Structure 1
Amino acid sequence: MTISRIAKTKQGRFSLFDENGDFLFSIDGETMVKNHVREGAALDAASLEALKEQSDTRKAKDKALGYLSLRDHASGELYDKLCRKFDARSAAAAVAEMQRLGLINDENFARHRAKYLADQNRSPREIRRRLAEKGIDRDAVDTALAELAPDETQACRALIEKNYGRRLREGGRDKVIAALARRGFSYGAIRAALEQCGETADEDGSWE
């Protein structure tokens, strides 16, 4: 196949056209120069595919840098985002490059994110779930929580005082317990927090 025409796009890339004038795909300038792509060049199917993959990977890396310029990402989270725009190979190559450059580190991300969530009075169970949703593996999550050692009862009490004081005063203790359980707090932490807030168990010792 012969590259009959190369046209620069508004995005600064270069569109390639075959001998029939049909659009093939676009590549970045660096890839074009490195591979000596020019009008009149003859490329077989394998060479064209390799050229496209190389350019897509470069574009994926640029997109990854853009995401990371806005905020930190976990590797799994970044990979999932890139897969929305690129093939799995290009996305994986871009993530690997960000790791090589030291721009993403799942362990550090887990520590910082866990502390941020704990400061919002999230339960350890919810912190674990949210980190897993970011693609953090279990070992990194376990390490982050072990280092942070969040006080579940204290977080639960702070949440009660901030969001549920009125409901408790109106006799809605059971609904408060259910709401806290949905937020991932353990029964023991909920009971201890309620006791600290002045709530007592029923005459039979039950909290439900």
Structure 2
Amino acid sequence: MTRITRLEPSKHIRGRFLVFLEGGEESLLKVTEEEVLRFALHTGKELDDAALAQLIRAAGLSNAKATAARMIGARPLAKGELIHRLIQKKIPSDCAQAAAQWLEDIGAIDDLAYAKMLVRHYAARGYGPRKIRDEFFKRRVSRDCWDQALEELEAPDDAIDRLIERKLRGNVPNRKELNRVSAYLARRGFSWEDIREGLARYGAGLEEP
């Protein structure tokens, strides 16, 4: 049996309580009011191994939820990236996944809405579909959302035309300049076909590498 030697509210975080234990592997647990009420915690209460394990699990999940809420309060995150960041903070994988699922269930995270936001952001900065897909992958956006989010993306013609004009400034390019511009556009995530068509519109031809 493990006895609670002291139960007191946290001086730093409202709604959190500190549970000091005697004779257990965990000398201190941080819980919320929900766990205090659910487990009827009080100084002097004795917990058997099963009850202690349940309390530790509940405390871990509450901590994961609180940490996850703070993370998405700082900036939007995809569900997969949120789970990854929670695990990096030494939160058990099952608690991290449960916390992320809880936030998704209440509508606090939404991979599709987040993916559409990324599309608008990177399109406005003159990036193409491949760059945006790279960002989806890097930010661990669910692949189920990729195609639907990319439907928000307008045809790349105008963006490519603006970038070519910015680089060539109305000059007739030589082969070296064409290669430099095409490589630049490829790095920004545009396909070779779209690049070739853009250069053709500009008045130059480009053979696909």
Q: TM-score, length-normalised on structure 1?
A: 0.81
| Unaligned segments of structure 1, at least 5 residues | none
- Counterpart CA distance in 2 for 1:96 and 1:187 is 40
Residue 95 of structure 2 aligns with which residue? 90
Q: Does 1:5 align with 2:10?
A: no
Q: Does 1:111 align with 2:112?
A: no
Residue 73 of structure 1 aligns with which residue? 77
Q: In the superposition, relative to structure 1, how do residues 124 and 26 fare at CA in structure 2: closer, same or farther (>3 Å)?
A: same
Q: Does 1:178 align with 2:147?
A: no
Q: Pick from 122, 133, 139: which aligns with 2:144?
A: 139
Q: Pick from 125, 130, 138: which aligns with 2:135?
A: 130
Offset of 1:142 from its aligned partner? Answer: 0.9
Provide, for residues 131-153 of structure 1, a one-character-per-residue CA deviation record: whole Å limited to 9, x for no partner: 232222333111121x3243223
Q: What does 1:185-200 correspond to in 2, within 5 Å?
A: 185-198=190-203, 200=204
Q: In the superposition, relative to structure 1, how do residues 47 and 165 fare at CA in structure 2: closer, same or farther (>3 Å)?
A: farther
RMSD after superposition: 2.7
Counterpart of 1:6, as a letter, is: L
Offset of 1:105 from its aligned partner? Answer: 1.9
- Counterpart CA distance in 1 for 2:168 and 2:11 is 57
Number of positions where the alignment pairs a residue of Structure 1 with one of Structure 2: 200
Q: TM-score, length-normalised on structure 2?
A: 0.80
Residue 48 of structure 1 aligns with which residue? 52
Q: Does the residue aligned with 1:26 lie in a helix, a strand or coil?
A: strand
Offset of 1:40 from its aligned partner? Answer: 1.3
Point out the structure with the larger strand share: 2
Q: Does the residue aligned with 1:172 lie in a helix, a strand or coil?
A: helix
Residue 159 of structure 1 aligns with which residue? 163
- Counterpart CA distance in 1 for 2:136 and 2:129 is 11
Q: Does the 8 Å CA contact 2:31/2:62 hold for their aligned counterparts?
A: no
Offset of 1:104 from its aligned partner? Answer: 1.8
Q: Does the 8 Å CA contact 1:123/1:185 hold for their aligned counterparts?
A: yes
Offset of 1:14 from its aligned partner? Answer: 0.7
Q: Pick from 24, 32, 37: which aligns with 2:36?
A: 32
Counterpart of 1:159, as a letter, is: L
The percent identity for this pair of structures is 28
Counterpart of 2:4, as a letter, is: I
Offset of 1:44 from its aligned partner? Answer: 2.1
Counterpart of 2:200, as a letter, is: E
Q: Does the 8 Å CA contact 1:3/1:17 hold for their aligned counterparts?
A: yes
